[in-house]
């Protein structure tokens, strides 16, 4: 595998006295797209929050780009998140008061990139994702699919080594969801970003090169990429190997 950029070792977590994750090992290499699958309540979002440094594990270790994350202070973890991670959630994580391009610029502005350069990079990423024409609109003026592409642009714009995506197409219809996944996976591969794609849908997981299967807070399996044949073509297209 290529260089590891994010790793969870022996992760455990409990909310109060209720255990939800038990001895979970997971590792992402540069440019790798890994799906975390499992039924609702199996601990997928909890695992993502641990790996993001938003929650501290009750046991185990988290390593981000060679640095142990879970033992850092709250402030340092939040700095690392901003600089080294991008996030895509199901919905509602863009700032409604800002325009599309202002949302996409945020990770750059917050890490000290000057305004003109931030704007240019945000526009370029929106263009890469096919939504540059909506740059100056407010969120209320764009569709769910366009807003989710803007969310993907924001996650990618500072070229972080890792993107964590939690049910990123859960609120979209199938066709729009496929376009958003194609954009996310295609752009992530171009800039060698590792993507953790949390989903309970096989169709979504088929965009990943590998699966990890969670059940009741434990890893119970996974595959090195054996998915429904009908979906393999779309995946190869996203990887630039097929469909000319």
Ligand X SMILES: Nc1ncnc2c1ncn2[C@@H]1O[C@H](COP(=O)(O)OP(=O)(O)O)[C@@H](O)[C@H]1O
Burial class (CB in 10 A: 0-12, 13-18, 19+), 1: exposed
User: Quick one: which of 33, 34, 44, 152 contacts ligand X (CB under 6 A)?
Assistant: 44
Q: Which stretch binds ligand X (CB under 6 A): 40-48, 92-100, 122-130, 222-230?
A: 40-48
Distance CA 62, CA 66 (A): 10
Burial track 196-225 (b if 16+ CB lie within 10 A, e otherwise): bbbbbeebbbbbbbbbbbbeebebeebeee
Closest CB to ligand X among residues 22, 239: 22
- In what helix (H) or strand (E) does residue 205 lie, and over which residues does it extend? helix 202-205
Distance CA 215, CA 211 (A): 13
21 Cα distance to chain centroid:
20
**What is the DSSP code (8-state) at residue 52?**
T
Question: Does 46 engage in binding with ligand X (CB under 6 A)?
Answer: yes
From ligand X, Mg ion, none, interface partner of 60 (C-beta below 5 to 8 A by class): none
Per-residue contact flags (x/-) with Mg ion for residues 38 to 77, judged by CB under 5 A: ------xx--------------------------------
Closest distance of CB 87 from ligand X, Å = 15
Q: Which stretch binds ligand X (CB under 6 A): 36-44, 61-69, 142-150, 151-159?
A: 36-44
Residues making contact with ligand X (CB under 6 A)? 15, 20, 38, 40-46
Residues making contact with Mg ion (CB under 5 A)? 44-45
């Amino acid at each position: 595998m290529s260089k590891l950029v994010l790793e969870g070792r022996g992760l455990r977590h409990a909310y109060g006295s209720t255990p939800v994750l038990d001895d979970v090992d997971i590792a992402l290499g540069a440019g790798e797209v890994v799906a975390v699958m499992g039924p609702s309540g199996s601990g997928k979002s909890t695992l993502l929050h641990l790996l993001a440094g938003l929650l501290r594990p009750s046991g185990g270790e988290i390593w981000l780009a060679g640095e142990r994350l879970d033992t850092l202070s709250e402030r340092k973890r939040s700095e690392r998140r901003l600089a080294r991670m991008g996030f895509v959630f199901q919905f509602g994580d863009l700032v409604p008061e800002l325009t599309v391009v202002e949302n996409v610029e945020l990770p750059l502005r917050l890490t000290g990139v000057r305004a003109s350069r931030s704007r240019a990079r945000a526009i370029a990423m929106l263009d890469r994702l096919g939504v540059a024409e909506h740059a100056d609109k407010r969120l209320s003026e764009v569709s769910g699919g366009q807003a989710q592409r803007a969310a993907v642009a924001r996650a990618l714009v500072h070229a972080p080594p890792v993107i964590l995506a939690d049910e990123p197409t859960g609120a979209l219809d199938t066709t729009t969801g496929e376009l958003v996944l194609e954009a996310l996976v295609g752009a992530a591969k171009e800039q060698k970003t590792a993507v953790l794609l949390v989903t309970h849908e096989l169709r979504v997981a088929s965009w990943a090169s590998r699966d990890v299967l969670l059940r009741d807070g434990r890893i119970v399996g996974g595959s090195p990429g054996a998915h429904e044949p009908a979906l393999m073509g779309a995946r190869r297209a996203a990887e630039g190997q097929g469909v000319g």
